[in-house]
Amino acid sequence: MHEQLRFGKHEYLAGVLSYPVNAEPTRAVLACPPHPNFGGDMENNVVAALAERLSAEAVTLRFDYRGVGQSRIELRPGLSVFDHWENIEQTLNYAEPLADVETAVDELSLLSAGLPMIAVGYSFGAIMATRVAMQDRRIVAMVGISPPLKRVGFEHLTACRKPCLLVSGQDDFVYDAEAARKLVDASGPNLIFERPVGDHFLVGQEAELADRVARFVRRASSQVRIPAIHGSK
């Protein structure tokens, strides 16, 4: 089942809430899309596939960042939405998109009535999901798909306290082996890093990816200890 939502202050964000029809949900999942200037909306192939698969067992919320789709934004005169997001990309000042994610977490928490929550993000969304998950006690685990390691080293996952799955395709152009090695060494036993066959965009591999994430989400939300896995799987 899918419902269109508006939420946040003055209902500035738009999203889609999905949930199982014939069963009680056992967890809640927030799906964060990639960068708006690089195909980043909640209808992205990876984000939509994850929401469809995970909503078989979970209350799942995917959303658009401010200025994307039906999500509203206030800009100074002469500044385009593209330029606004390009500035975020160049400065790495993530305050606004992180605020959007926190707003989505608040909404999902309200709608899921205390179910264990997992934050999932794709590409730029992997940065958003993991950064918020590291700080928000309502989130029990996190998933980052195609994390842009060449752009951001993900040092915020150092000594990671929660179950975390990172997935980078073996042909992903934003994967960085040295950054990945340092991250695995510094993150502690809660981090799993998997490198299946595929590239950054995972076209045609959405179903296999969604199953992979669903297995992790099921284990993590059940509070089963997940050992670290280094390298490919």
Q: How many Cβ atoms from other residues are within 10 Å of residue 192's Cβ?
A: 21
Contact, 192 vs 145, CB < 8 A?
Answer: no
Three-class secondary structure of residue 81 per DSSP: helix
Query: Which residue bears the tokens 């993000």?
Result: 121
pLDDT at site 223:
64
**pLDDT score, position 3:** 97
pLDDT tens, the chain, 233 aa long: 999 999 999 999 999 999 999 999 999 999 999 999 998 999 999 999 999 999 999 999 999 999 999 999 999 999 999 999 999 999 999 999 999 999 999 999 999 998 999 999 999 999 999 999 999 999 999 999 999 999 998 999 999 999 999 999 999 999 999 999 999 999 989 999 999 999 999 999 999 999 999 999 999 988 644 334 333 33
Helix, strand, coil abundance in the chain, percent, nearest 5: 35, 20, 45
So where are the chain's domains? Answer: 2-221
Q: Which CATH class is domain 2-221?
A: alpha beta
Q: What is the structure's pLDDT at 224? A: 41
